[in-house]
Structure formats: C-alpha cells, structure tokens
Amino acid sequence: MTEQSDPIKLLTIVGGGTAGWMTAAALAKLIRPLGVRIRLVESDAIGTIGVGEATLPHIRFFNERLGLDEAAFMAATQATIKLGIQFRDWARKGDAYIHPFGDYGRDIGETAFHHLWLRAAQAGRAGRIDDYSLPIVMAEQARFGPPATDEHSVMSSFSYAYQMDATLYAKFLRDFAEANGVERIEGRIVATRRCPESGDVRAVRLESGVEVEGDLFVDCSGFRALLIGQELGVGFEDWSDVLPCDRAVAAACENAEDPIPYTRSTARDAGWQWCIPLQHRVGNGYVFASAHLSDDEATATLLAHLDGAPIGDPRVLRFKAGRRRKQWAKNVVAIGLSSGFLEPLESTSIYLIQAAVTNLVELFPERGIALADRDEFNRVMDLEYERIRDFLVLHYHATERDDTPFWNYVRTMTIPESLTYKMDLFRRRGVIVHYKDGLFLHPSWLAVYLGQRVVPERCAPLAEAPSDEKLDAFLGDLKGVIQSTVAALPTHAAHLRAFCPAPPAVA
C-alpha cells in the first residue's frame, strides 16, 4: 500500500458521553483501518450531560454507515420512532402544530403544493395543511410503517428519526467502538503538554501521571472545552441575545400510556418544555431563561406538568447559546458541546455531532495539519451553526404571545438580517429561500412558518391556474390516500413490540 506523506498515527478523544462515543464509533469504523490508533480518555467521576434524546432523520445514515442493526440499536437505547416535533402554545396559547419529517402534498408542474393549499384554504375549502402530510397524520394517529423507496408511493414521502436514551446510545456505541479497537482510558486529565514551536497539543496528562499522546485530538469534553477553550484559548461567540434561554431543568417520568411517535415542545412562560417518550420512560425538561425565571420556579412548573409519576430528582443544567469561534484550531477538533450549544428545540445537538464527525472523516488530515483542511472544516461547520440558529430564532420571534416578559423580549428582539429577509419573502408571497447545504429543507421551514402564523399574504400566481373543481378533487384525493394509507398501518406501539422490544428499565 502506498502511503501518503505523513499520516496521523495517534488520535485521542478527550471525553466520553454522546459526542465522544459517536466520534469514537465512527472513527473506529472509518479511520482506524488506515492504521490509526484511537484512544478515548474519560473519567467515570465526571458525569455526562446526555445532550439530547431526540434526533433528526440523519441519524439513520450515521447508524447505517456504522453498520448498526436497527432493531438491536433501538432495543438497546429504549428507542421509539420519531416522525416530527409538535409545538404547543408557541404562536398563541392553544395553538399546536407538528414539524414533520416529510413532504406536504404534491406539486403540480411548477407550482409548489403549499401555494395550491393556500389558495384553497383561503377560500375555506382545504382544511389543515397537516392533513396533506403523511408523517403528521401517522404521528397524530400514533401509527407507523417504514418508508417505501418507490417514489410513486405516498409512503416514500417521509423519513423518520428516533427518540432514544442518549446515555444508553453512548453505551451502545462504546461497546461498538471498543469491539472495533478503540482503547478507552479511565482517568481525569490534569494537564496538557504542548509543542513549544507549533503550539499543537502533544499529550494530556492524567491524575495517575500517565501521559496520553496524540497527533490529533478531538475535544469532546463538553462545556468545559478542556482543549479548545481552556488550553488553546479559542473564544466563544455568544448568541444569547437571540436565544436567551440559558438553563434547563430535566426530569424523567413514567409512561402513562403507549409512547407517541413524536416529540412535544410546549411553550411556557419563560421558555419551553420538552416531552420525549421512550419505551421505558418519558424524558422531560424545561428550557428557560434565568433572567425571567428562577431554578425553583422552573422545577415546580416542570413537575406540575408531567404525564406520569416522576423518576429520580430533577437536575438543572446551565448553558449559553453560541458557538466556538473556531471549531478546529491547531490539532484540536471540537465536537459536541465544546464546539458550541444550540438549545434542543429542533433536536440538532446530535445532528451537529454527526455533521462534525462526517466532515472530519471527509477532511481527515495528516500530521502537520494542512491549513486547507482546518479552514474548510471551520467554514462548513460555521454554516451549519448559522443556518440552524436562524431556524431556531424563527420559533421564538414569530409569535403573537405578549403574556410574559420573556415572550415580549423574543417577539421584539432584533433578529439576524438573514432571517428577517427569509421571513419577509415568505410573508409577502410564500417563497422559501433555498440553500444547497441547509439542514432544514422546504417542508421544515413551511411547517414552522405556518405553525408560527407567518402566513403568506398571497399565493403564487400559477396556483390560480387549476379550476376550483380540479383543485378540490386534487386535494381530496391527496387527503384520502393519506388517510387510507395510515389507517392500514400498525400502531406505533405494535411496531415497537414486534420490531425492537427493549428490556424493562433497570431501576
């Protein structure tokens, strides 16, 4: 085998948790066969956050690339199916909508479906747009069947993700990574050794005195940002002016009924509450702005709004929205919370880990890291962060709520110009700004715009083309196909029982 000039031989991941073990698992599968020794340093004494229990459909491609068996993975992580996210009380109290992982209706020629729907809805003849989305109807009826690949089938119009226990996922991936040759080193890091010339990190020293060297380090140390922040001094870009929530109180509770195949996000006085049903329990949390609410108040509100009996004590997490100014500096790549934080409103934490790992594999460097690799990684990750930020801010800003100081703040705050532009264009004429590389595609923006009551003043001129009768028949057919398709599917609970029953929870 012809080797290129100076390959990386030693790669060290600092920190376990979701980010650490996702990175370890992927690199074990994809990079270790190149002859790279991969080690992961973590300490049992340091807790992990378990950044998110809700995922986006991209996770399936990550798992597929690793060759994970879906049923085994779901059983091991107490996973349920996720078809979208429901938002309650966001634009107005009493509102509810689902952001689905899939399309709305079908376009006619050059006319996007939502314009046709707008025209009919304005005349009072179309009903909810939700009824034209297969994943929404599936979610509402708590039914599920796998997507079809035949693009003529309505079952090809959606995708799905999982709701899972992130701590169990990390454990599952740890087993996978270790089986694939990743060496786990137990210990607390107390010091770092740098190269005096280049400034690169050469090794981390553990409490035991042992040094773990590396040609390349991946900083998965969480908010502490041990290498990228503390050691290399890369600063943090604070986005809390547009994303003011800075705390969360989390608590699990028992399942009162069969788990539903979607995540619920309910707006509260100073933030929002998540509800993520897993097979063995329900994850809950209240994300809030400490400027408007105390920890105790938030905890009380959360406990008052659980669907089942609480399990364990609530715990409070602190964070700040924003991103590391450079995701990759010297020979240190930040992945996970060390690279930045965006609240889990749209389940992007695990996605951002996955994007970073994928980009690292695509741009895997050599020793004496090429500037071009680092630059390109930082450019694509910056884009990811910015585009997600805009999408999250939309949820808060596009609201009519004026019942608390928190909602008054987010409703009236100054938002990024890039978002103002997108919202104006949609409001004026229903056009969705399209990017080649954006994480959230047309249906996602559409769902949140309409759900947040950003309603176009006019529909596209071409939507006026079909006659009323034709349009009614078209819409009626779509709705009917979706209804009959969903009615024939098994329930979500039945699917879980048949496909991936998890062992009962160990107390």
Partner 1 sequence: MSMTHAPPDTQTRIVVAGATLEGWLAAASLARRLRPLGVAVILVPTDADAAPPPALATTPGFRAVHDALRLDERDVARFCGGGFRLGDEILSNDRSFARAFSPAGQACNGVAFHQHWLRARRIGASPPFDNLSVGARAAREGRFAPPAPDADDLAGSYGFGLHLDGARYQEYLRRCALHYGVTEAAPLAEASPDGDGRLDALRLADGSTARAALYLDATGPGALLLRGLAPEPLRPAPDASGCDRVAWSVADAPENLSAGVIRMESRGYAISTPLPGANVVGFVHRADATDAETAARRCGAASADDVTLVSFANAWRPRPWVGDCVAIGRAACDLEPLAHPLPRLVDAALDHLVELFPIAGDEAGGRDEFNRRMDETFARFAEFQALHHVLSAYPKEARAASAPLERKIEQFRSRGRVVLYDHESFDEASHVALYLGFGLLPDRYDPLADLTPPDETAALMTKTRDAVRALCDAMPSQRDALLRMRLLNAERA
Q: Any idea which residues carry the catalytic annotation?
A: 82
Q: Which of residues 302-331 bind partner 1 (CB under 8 A)?
A: none
Q: Spell out the residues 6+ positions from residue 357 whose beta carbon is closer than 8 angstroms to its own.
A: 22, 23, 26, 27, 62, 335
According to DSSP, the residues that pair with 211 across neighbouring strands are 205
20 contributes a contact to partner 1 by CB under 8 A: no
Q: Which is nearer to partner 1, 192 or 399 (CB)?
A: 399
Least separation, in Å, of the C-beta of 320 and partner 1? 31
CB of 287 to partner 1, least distance (A): 31
CB of 506 to partner 1, least distance (A): 37
**490 φ, ψ to 5°?**
-70, 165
Among 2-10, 161-169, 180-188, 263-271, the segment contacting partner 1 (CB under 8 A): 2-10
Q: Burial of 416 by CB count in 10 Å (0-12 exposed, 13-18 middle, 19+ buried)? A: middle
Return the SS3 of 418: helix
Count of residues that bind partner 1 according to CB under 8 A: 48
Residue ranges in 94-123 that form contacts with partner 1 under rule CB under 8 A: 110, 118-119, 121-122
Q: How far apart are CA 300 and CA 48, in angstroms?
A: 24
Q: Near partner 1 by CB under 8 A, which window of 83-91, 208-216, 238-246, 423-431?
A: 423-431
In the complex, minimum distance from the CB of residue 111 to partner 1, in angstroms, rounded to a whole number: 9
Q: Which one-letter DSSP state was computed for residue 413? A: S
Q: How far, in Å, CA of 215 to CA of 239, rounded?
A: 32
Q: Where are the beta strands (DSSP E) in 131-225?
A: 161-163, 183-186, 189-194, 201-206, 211-213, 216-219
Q: Which of 11, 19, 26, 30 binds partner 1 (CB under 8 A)?
A: 30
Contact 148/496 with Cβ under 8 angstroms?
no
Q: 176 or 377, CB closer to partner 1?
A: 377
Query: Is residue 454 at the binding interface for partner 1, with CB under 8 A as the rule?
Result: no
For residues 35 to 74, the per-residue mask of contacts with partner 1, x marking binding by CB under 8 A and - elsewhere, is ------------------------------x---------
Smaller CB distance to partner 1: residue 380 or 413? Answer: 380
Pick from 317, 340, 250: which is nearest to 286 by CA? Answer: 250
Contact 99, 84 (CB under 8 A): yes
Per-residue contact flags (x/-) with partner 1 for residues 425 to 444, judged by CB under 8 A: x--xx-x-xxxxx-------
Q: What φ, ψ does residue 6 adopt, rounded to 5°?
A: -145, 80
Closest Cα partner for 128 from 439, 430, 363, 479? 479
Task: State the minimum distance, in angstroms, from the CB of residue 370 to partner 1.
Answer: 6
Among 175, 238, 257, 457, binds partner 1 (CB under 8 A): 457
Nearest to 102 by CA among 117, 91, 118, 113: 113
374 sits near partner 1 (criterion: CB under 8 A): no
- Reference 191, options 170, 207, 179, 176; nearest CA is 207
Q: Tell the smallest beta-carbon distance from residue 107 to partner 1 (Å).
A: 12
464 touches partner 1 by CB under 8 A? yes
Q: Is 469 in the site for partner 1 (CB under 8 A)?
A: no
Binding site for partner 1 (CB under 8 A): 1-5, 7, 30-31, 33-34, 65, 110, 118-119, 121-122, 361-364, 366, 370, 372-373, 376, 379, 421, 424-425, 428-429, 431, 433-437, 455-462, 464-466
